[in-house]
């Protein structure tokens, strides 16, 4: 039973560029949440996708957008990258029919913006 997978594992971009991160949820899960974790901080909620729609959103600017596909996988897009966007980006999946707070995390994508 595959867990949550994310790609790529590491990424280096420069300011102003755009980036797309990908996530495949755990088998049987239909909801994907994205988090940003800066060094020394806890994960911060970006948004959550269910049925291909953004269901909830945290305090992140519109430069952060996402998408969910019919197979429940998801993408996180960040435009006009800033140095402060350097962080570990975590994807977590859950099942809408269960407790929404039982989330399983992927290994993350470490983004460095130069």
Contact residues: another protein, CB under 8 A: 33, 35, 40-45, 48, 50, 55-56, 58, 88, 90, 94, 96, 99-103, 105-108, 110
Residue 97 CB, shortest distance to another protein, in Å, is: 8
**Closest CB to another protein among residues 85, 103:** 103
* Closest approach of another protein to the CB of residue 75, in Å: 18
The CB-of-89 to another protein minimum distance in angstroms stands at 11
For another protein, the closer of residues 25 and 106 by Cβ is 106
Query: With helix as H, strand as E and coil as C, how does the chain read?
Result: CCCCEEECCEEEECCCCCEEEEEECCCCCCEEEEEEECCCCCCEEEEEEECCEEEEECCCCCCEEEEECCCCCEEEEECCCCHHHCEEEEEEEECCCCCCCCCEECCCEEEEEC
Q: Which is nearer to another protein, 85 or 94 (CB)?
A: 94
Nearest-CA neighbor of 108 among 14, 3, 29, 5? 5
Closest CB 16 distance from another protein, rounded Å: 27
């Amino acid at each position: 039973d595959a867990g949550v997978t994310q790609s790529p594992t590491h990424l280096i971009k420069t300011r102003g560029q755009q980036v797309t991160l990908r996530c495949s949820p755990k088998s049987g899960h239909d909801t994907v949440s994205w988090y940003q974790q800066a060094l020394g901080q806890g994960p911060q909620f970006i948004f959550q996708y269910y049925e291909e729609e953004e269901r909830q959103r945290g305090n992140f600017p519109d430069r952060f957008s996402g998408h969910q596909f019919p197979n429940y996988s998801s993408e996180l897009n960040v435009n006009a990258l800033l140095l402060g966007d350097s962080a570990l980006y975590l994807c977590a999946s859950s099942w809408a029919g269960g407790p929404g707070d039982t989330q399983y995390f992927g290994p993350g994508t470490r983004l460095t913006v130069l």
